[in-house]
Structure 1
């Protein structure tokens, strides 16, 4: 592997001259997506997620966010299939992350409407996405290890088998956890020398830099550029997000960012606040800052009428986060898997 990495990524990725388009025999007409397709794409995602019993639904706002980012080229990186009536029945998208410094990644995501399944549309889309992903890796100009990857629900066996047929292997597992807010909340006291501060736009870039540092030792994590970080989802809730500041220096020592996914509440059967990012920089670990942030967030969620606090964690998280969450009353409630081709 070491000798192979000496070869340029443009060679290792083995990009096709052009990704293979799905054949006409599938009965769909194919073209790239545009921002004008957002409503139809959102409807397709809901149909796919419902058919797959996914524990979430993609909102219209989240769908529109697929087209945000100066590095994205939907005219090259997306593909959608339409039936004779013009109804969107399948889509695929490949994206990259501009800040990658350790491993160059191409993310594959797609879906096929239940009405178009069972005739090879999924296999054709995966083949197209893999081809486009290899092109993007080769075009990155970064001679680093590389990865084609997709995230799937751990119980979505059909999807895992579909990608396995294209050479993707399960590499990493993630656990979803929830904690009832009807129970007593943990008593948390912030360590001396630190203060809690509300997230503000003025603190945002310092939080970004703290995040990049805090997650530098996490497998699969790569730095976030200012642009990528700034493209914050409509689900982000500033009032549920908090920062720990060291009093003596004014530095950001830790942070917690929250999201509100109202479209998921009927699916899961309860309301919740979601802790989307939680980190403590290495010099300040072991002082209970993460516990204080989580305790504060639980209180904020409950004060706004939420029934549960939810979050996700890498099962092999090096900071021992899984055990910390369990000790605070979080229980496992589903999970996902990352499948990849390592290049």
Structure 2
């Protein structure tokens, strides 16, 4: 069947949610989205729907979707993220070729508008079960560059909580710490593979202003003068996952420590405290994602807090000349 392609709009959130659900029934990635979740993502400052999105329609059914998300910085390479979902019964070689050709064309357009003087790499993330999408990327020249694992902790079986470094103050996240925390995040993740500085607008949209953000279960570690965040844990709760699994899971979006304070157990202490508070609040599990080649031994930190590996994702990259 020949599809009709056009950029998506915020009004397409409902059919997009149906598309994600159809794909998840086969791919089993563990990710679930409501129309509200997707509408929030589509409205982000990193997406220009008219320039950087496309949907393939079979009559009234949205059967394939792709988007390009630009980065807030290019230091020195611009690494926009490409993403795509297709209904299982429409996964053909021709459709895969159409999508990856669109990635190249749209990626260049988004890049030219954002950072035309910088080198360009397209980045994609793929769950280990998404074989059709993996094959499509590899045929288009994308190469696997990184492995990420999704880890989960059973909050009924937590190890003891380590104390925070002496002299520092551990407090719940509050709006007055928002910019201090963004600054700490940008420093802590500087040099991480595939990471980029987050602007205030992207930070608020993606993290502290997101509808699923749990400020009450996010914590920051402050200097004795309380004028600087040195470590942090930022968390969210996704009702769509709860509805699908029946499990109340606190998702840890970010764990980080400034370079000068690493090696003192700050991250382990703040994360352990967060998980203990989550258990008290009625959560049964926690999840997070981590790069297995993380230079700061993050996997070990998470294992000490009770996490074990549950799923695997791969980072794919295509340099554009």
TM-score by length of 2: 0.93
Tell me, yes or no, if structure 1 residue 287 matches structure 2 residue 264.
Answer: yes
CA deviations on 1:276-306 (whole Å, 9 max, x unpaired) are: 1011111111221111111111112111221
Q: How far 1:267 sits from its partner (Å)?
A: 4.9
Partner of residue 41, structure 1: 16
CA deviations on 1:302-325 (whole Å, 9 max, x unpaired) are: 112211121111001111111121
Q: How far 1:71 sits from its partner (Å)?
A: 5.5
Q: How far 1:119 sits from its partner (Å)?
A: 6.0
CA deviations on 1:121-165 (whole Å, 9 max, x unpaired) are: 232122112211122223333533321011110232222111101
In the alignment, the residues of structure 1 paired with residue 92 and residue 191 of structure 2 have an alpha-carbon distance, to the nearest angstrom, of: 42
In the alignment, the residues of structure 1 paired with residue 44 and residue 137 of structure 2 have an alpha-carbon distance, to the nearest angstrom, of: 27
Tell me, yes or no, if structure 1 residue 234 matches structure 2 residue 235.
Answer: no
Partner of residue 233, structure 2: 256
Tell me, yes or no, if structure 1 residue 169 matches structure 2 residue 146.
Answer: no
In the alignment, the residues of structure 2 paired with residue 339 and residue 39 of structure 1 have an alpha-carbon distance, to the nearest angstrom, of: 29
The change in CA–CA distance for 1:148 and 1:64 in structure 2 (over 3 A counts) is same
Matches within 5 A, 1:101-250: 101-118=75-92, 120-232=94-206, 233-248=210-225, 250=227
What RMSD over aligned residues (CA atoms) do the two structures have, in Å? 1.8
CA deviations on 1:190-248 (whole Å, 9 max, x unpaired) are: 11110111111121011001100111131221100011111133221111101100113
User: Is the 8 Å Cα contact of residues 154 and 336 (structure 1) preserved in structure 2?
Assistant: yes
The change in CA–CA distance for 1:241 and 1:119 in structure 2 (over 3 A counts) is same
In the alignment, the residues of structure 2 paired with residue 143 and residue 154 of structure 1 have an alpha-carbon distance, to the nearest angstrom, of: 34
In the alignment, the residues of structure 2 paired with residue 129 and residue 27 of structure 1 have an alpha-carbon distance, to the nearest angstrom, of: 19
Matches within 5 A, 1:25-36: 26-36=1-11
Q: Which structure 1 segments of 5+ residues have no match?
A: 1-25
Q: How far 1:334 sits from its partner (Å)?
A: 0.6
Count of residue pairs the alignment pairs up: 317
Q: How far 1:55 sits from its partner (Å)?
A: 1.2
TM-score by length of 1: 0.87
Q: How far 1:59 sits from its partner (Å)?
A: 2.4
For residue 202 of structure 1, give the secondary structure of its aligned residue in structure 2.
Answer: helix
Partner of residue 91, structure 1: 65
The change in CA–CA distance for 1:63 and 1:291 in structure 2 (over 3 A counts) is same
For residue 160 of structure 1, give the secondary structure of its aligned residue in structure 2.
Answer: helix
Partner of residue 28, structure 2: 53
Q: How far 1:249 sits from its partner (Å)?
A: 5.3
